[in-house]
Structure 1
Amino acid sequence: MTVQQEKTHIFQTSFGKIIALKENGVVRAKSIRYARSERFKKPIPEQLSASEIIFPHKTPVCPQVLSPLVEKMIGPTPIESFDPDESTQYLSVFRPENFTENEKLPVIVWIHGGSHEIGCGDLPTSDPGDWVKEQQIMVVTVSYRLGLFGFLGGNGKRPPNLGLFDIIEALKWIKNYIPEFGGDAENITLLGQSSGGDAIAHLMISDGVEGLFQRVIIQSAPLGLRQNRQKMSAEFLKNTEFLSEETDPLKMVDAYHKWVPSVVRYGLKAAMPFGTQYGFPPLCKENEAVERWKSATGKYDVLIGLNNDETAFYLKTSEAFNTYLKRGIGLKLIDKVVRKTTELIYGKPAAEFAENYAKAGGNVYLFRIHTEFAENTIGAAHCIDLPLLFGNEEAWKPSGMLKDIPWKYIDENGRKLRAVWAEFAGSGNISTASELPEILKIRKIIR
């Protein structure tokens, strides 16, 4: 056997012959195209391949502008490793190398966050390798259209919710082909953080998803921003319509920022200008959403929650905070604002979602993540769940969010959190005997 053969694994599937990498005990079949699309058109499932499917040198990513805040708090994006692709329907499959033939692994499908505007399925900070090895699970990461290409529409030329349609196509691909990788097509959990959690909540009430997944884990979804967005979206669409004919997608994403809706006019929801749009396929009307979620209780187990200081990610990272508000009465004031905005955008909507779901007879758990380090003034901010869930110390070394938190603390709590999340993904339940990390408070909601 050659060195190259030792580093690769071949999946002989009905979709095609897929070449995967073997690295550190994990088999990685990366950047498999599951669909294609033309601009502002619904995705078309990718055809079966007669040739070998080989992982590309660069990771495909939807065209986007880097966020200075994300670069500061999470870490620099290695842009030289990514290739912008307007038709960015790709997924990656991660499986333990230590695998018994005919074994059926629980499947977790990762839907990344980024305000429906930035990110992709395959970032170093959300590499699931540690989790896959520890818990003997399979993780599939999904990339989909974002921003102007995936989450803004409403006229005859430009349908909304194309990003949702992309994810649905990915789920159909997973349902059809994941058994040939060793995954259990009847045990699929969707996991999403931030706007990824928002997408998953809305997939629960989307048309065309029947039988594609059995449970959901919704982390830090900004459900408090989901309502009364129609007027804002229509204005944003109208103001950016002139970009539709631009041939260069990178010029499109550079240009739309001057037309982002005003927070003064539209309130906090303008902080996430792109989003799922009610009243257009595959979604119902906005006033029907709560009843649709209630009617989904027999279909999906739900684990939903947030970090205790979500909005500190935005409010405690500004130059003004570090200059004027980091101590004394300024710190007390900003802490109060963090508490109120966290509850408004994340906390209260998650609790209401869980309580409504439980009252309708659904199986649902509600969680909250805390941190306990006095030196870490930012607290359990938005995205603190990501290093806990994915590990990868090397990828998180540049993170400004973790600079005052020892990695040992992240690692010890993260291993326990990954075990609890894997337990839920496997069965839909969390045993009272399970060892919980000290940063986690969780309870089953009883009607």
Structure 2
Amino acid sequence: MTVPQTKTHIFQTSFGKMIALKENGVIKAKSIRYARSERFKRPVPGKPLESEMIFPHKTPVCPQTISPLVEKMIGPTPIENFEPDESTQFLSVFRPETFTNHEKLPVVVWIHGGSHEIGCGDLPTSDPSEWVREQQIIVVTVSYRLGIFGFLGGDENRPPNLGLFDIIEALKWIKTYISDFGGDAENITLLGQSSGGDAIAHLMISEGIDGLFQRVIIQSAPLGLRHTRQKMSAEFLKKTEFLRGEPDALKIADEYRKQVPAVIKYGLKAAMPFGTQYGFPPLCQENKAIDTWKLKAGQYDVLIGLNDNETAFYLKTSDALNKYFGKGIGLKILDKAVRKTTEFIYGKPAEEFAENYARAGGNVYLFRIHSKSEYHHIGAAHCIDLPLIFGNEQAWKSAGLLKDIPWSFVHENGIKLRALWAEFARTGNLSATSERPEILMIRKVEF
């Protein structure tokens, strides 16, 4: 086993002096505060540092509750390494150690998923070090407010879309300061998975984002759940009003779960009770969203897609469902439910997005990640793209998602996928001669 060789590195930036870690060919400047906020208020940009910034002992994270499903399918959360912080506007910069002062490296900004409710920018399972080292790119990971703190509102006391405003502030910081780290401020790609992809799709049509990024990679965005959420959000807002003045943020994160909308009343969209809200800044009205995306067609290169068995992550891992549908005709019914819900939530919306964008003259690629029959535990389920993009075998060793899948298979396909995504981040295009992973289907959408 190789012991990581860790040293320090000093970044002298116009934001201030930062002491970073240098480890196995990658320099990490972690937990840089890009903004601050008061509860239910818009973020205020961070001020340049008055003293040097030192790598923190614990990673700041928005107050949240642990998801048993995520613990089972992705791995245990090392809660002792995290510090709850209601003002969760932090980012981390990962840069190759091998670098010349004349280089300007392409920049990828990672917007994490988690149903707009859980997660943070700096998790071991999404540490981008392997990708940074292999492809000579800079990756910036962003943390932002989640759940009741960032994605539920409807009035002046509790404005909606605060998580989006946080990300916009992060992008402004990156645009201003990334050149100090060797990044190209004119070549920035947003990469998001699940609700992170949803956030990116809506950042494309947000006010105040002109010039902040040039292309986007949207993975497994639940765009099928974006419609007609207003009544559900208003009910949820009203039911959680009693928590507005509660001083204990962890208590808020625990208590709001008792008030979430019912699936029986609101359908599948209630499975993701938090989300971007149309008709409030920085977003347009819902009926104008598609036309607004079309207006952006000449502005951003787009790579969008999904995994072929997304909802197996939820349906095929349910002990209750497996009890009745785990074999025989029941399994066929369950497989059909996975196909139907995957297409409704992820597949058809991604295709429609890509086709509308292409018809409007946009540069767009559409992809699907498949599974191999010999490793078909639950198929190419939600989040299967994460170990492909980030690698990190040690972080994924206990993941139920990868049960019976050899890491060599993940690694071989991951190297090719990381190279392909980095090519798109550099140029906005994919060469027909570039090597594709065997589990990937991808095409340029043209009309």
Do Structure 1 and Structure 2 share a fold, with TM-score over 0.5?
Answer: yes
Q: Which residue of 1 aligns with 2:151?
A: 151
Q: Which residue of 1 aligns with 2:54?
A: 54
CA deviation profile, 1:51-107 (whole Å, cap 9, x unmatched): 001121000000000100000000000000000000000000000011111210000
SS at match of 1:93: strand
Correspondences of 1:134-145 after superposition (within 5 Å): 134-145=134-145
Whether 2:311 is the aligned partner of 1:311: answer: yes
Correspondences of 1:96-107 after superposition (within 5 Å): 96-107=96-107
Using the alignment, how far apart are the partners of 2:6 and 2:83 within structure 1? 27
The offset of 1:158, in angstroms, is 0.7
SS at match of 2:431: coil
Using the alignment, how far apart are the partners of 2:209 and 2:335 within structure 1? 41
Q: Which residue of 2 aligns with 1:42?
A: 42
Residue pair 1:373, 1:405 contacting (<8 A) in 2 also? no
Using the alignment, how far apart are the partners of 2:154 and 2:318 within structure 1? 35
SS at match of 1:7: strand
The offset of 1:375, in angstroms, is 4.5
Whether 2:212 is the aligned partner of 1:207: answer: no
Using the alignment, how far apart are the partners of 1:29 and 1:323 within structure 2? 47
Q: Which residue of 2 aligns with 1:392?
A: 392
- Relative to 1, partners in 2 of residues 1:333 and 1:212: Cα closer, same or farther, differing over 3 Å? same
Between the two proteins, the alignment pairs up a number of residues equal to 443
Q: Which residue of 2 aligns with 1:111?
A: 111
Residue pair 2:263, 2:270 contacting (<8 A) in 1 also? yes
Q: Which residue of 2 aligns with 1:264?
A: 264
The offset of 1:377, in angstroms, is 2.7
Look up the equivalent residue of 1:65 and give its one-letter code.
Answer: T
CA deviation profile, 1:109-143 (whole Å, cap 9, x unmatched): 00000000000000000000000000000000000
Correspondences of 1:152-191 after superposition (within 5 Å): 152-191=152-191
Using the alignment, how far apart are the partners of 1:49 and 1:377 within structure 2? 49
Using the alignment, how far apart are the partners of 1:223 and 1:71 within structure 2? 25
> Kindly, what percent of the aligned residue pairs are identical?
77
Residue pair 2:89, 2:166 contacting (<8 A) in 1 also? yes
Using the alignment, how far apart are the partners of 1:374 and 1:342 within structure 2? 21
Look up the equivalent residue of 1:369 and give its one-letter code.
Answer: I
- Relative to 1, partners in 2 of residues 1:364 and 1:11: Cα closer, same or farther, differing over 3 Å? same
Q: Which residue of 1 aligns with 2:19?
A: 19
Residue pair 1:198, 1:218 contacting (<8 A) in 2 also? yes
Using the alignment, how far apart are the partners of 1:235 and 1:329 within structure 2? 39
Residue pair 1:60, 1:90 contacting (<8 A) in 2 also? yes
Correspondences of 1:86-101 after superposition (within 5 Å): 86-101=86-101
Q: Which residue of 1 aligns with 2:65?
A: 65
SS at match of 2:177: helix
Residue pair 1:146, 1:163 contacting (<8 A) in 2 also? yes
Correspondences of 1:293-308 after superposition (within 5 Å): 293-308=293-308
The offset of 1:320, in angstroms, is 2.5
Correspondences of 1:226-265 after superposition (within 5 Å): 226-265=226-265
Q: Which residue of 1 aligns with 2:128?
A: 128
Moved >4 Å (runs of 4+): none
Using the alignment, how far apart are the partners of 2:195 and 2:50 within structure 1? 36
Q: Which residue of 2 aligns with 1:219?
A: 219
Using the alignment, how far apart are the partners of 1:330 and 1:23 within structure 2? 50
Using the alignment, how far apart are the partners of 2:422 and 2:321 within structure 1? 38
Q: Which residue of 1 aligns with 2:284?
A: 284
SS at match of 1:280: coil
Q: Which residue of 2 aligns with 1:30?
A: 30
Using the alignment, how far apart are the partners of 1:158 and 1:6 within structure 2? 44
Look up the equivalent residue of 2:76 and give its one-letter code.
Answer: P
Look up the equivalent residue of 1:189 and give its one-letter code.
Answer: T
Using the alignment, how far apart are the partners of 1:358 and 1:159 within structure 2? 34
CA deviation profile, 1:376-396 (whole Å, cap 9, x unmatched): 330000000000000000000
Look up the equivalent residue of 1:151 and give its one-letter code.
Answer: F
Structure 2 gaps of 5+ residues are none
Look up the equivalent residue of 1:62 and give its one-letter code.
Answer: C
Residue pair 1:370, 1:380 contacting (<8 A) in 2 also? yes
SS at match of 1:374: helix
Q: Which residue of 2 aligns with 1:403?
A: 403
Correspondences of 1:65-84 after superposition (within 5 Å): 65-84=65-84
Q: Which residue of 1 aligns with 2:429?
A: 429
Look up the equivalent residue of 2:377 and give its one-letter code.
Answer: T
Correspondences of 1:364-379 after superposition (within 5 Å): 364-379=364-379
Using the alignment, how far apart are the partners of 1:349 and 1:244 within structure 2? 35
Look up the equivalent residue of 2:426 and give its one-letter code.
Answer: G
Using the alignment, how far apart are the partners of 2:189 and 2:6 within structure 1? 31
CA deviation profile, 1:408-442 (whole Å, cap 9, x unmatched): 00000000000000000000000000000001000
Residue pair 2:75, 2:400 contacting (<8 A) in 1 also? yes
SS at match of 1:424: helix
Structure 1 gaps of 5+ residues are none
Residue pair 1:216, 1:300 contacting (<8 A) in 2 also? yes
Look up the equivalent residue of 1:28 and give its one-letter code.
Answer: K
Look up the equivalent residue of 2:361 and give its one-letter code.
Answer: G
Using the alignment, how far apart are the partners of 2:245 and 2:179 within structure 1? 41
SS at match of 2:361: coil
CA deviation profile, 1:229-276 (whole Å, cap 9, x unmatched): 000000000000000000000000110111000000000000000000
Instruction: Judge which range, 50-59 or 321-330, deviates more.
Output: 321-330
- Relative to 1, partners in 2 of residues 1:7 and 1:236: Cα closer, same or farther, differing over 3 Å? same
Using the alignment, how far apart are the partners of 1:29 and 1:40 within structure 2? 28
CA deviation profile, 1:210-231 (whole Å, cap 9, x unmatched): 0000000000000000010000
Using the alignment, how far apart are the partners of 2:273 and 2:292 within structure 1? 24
SS at match of 2:374: coil
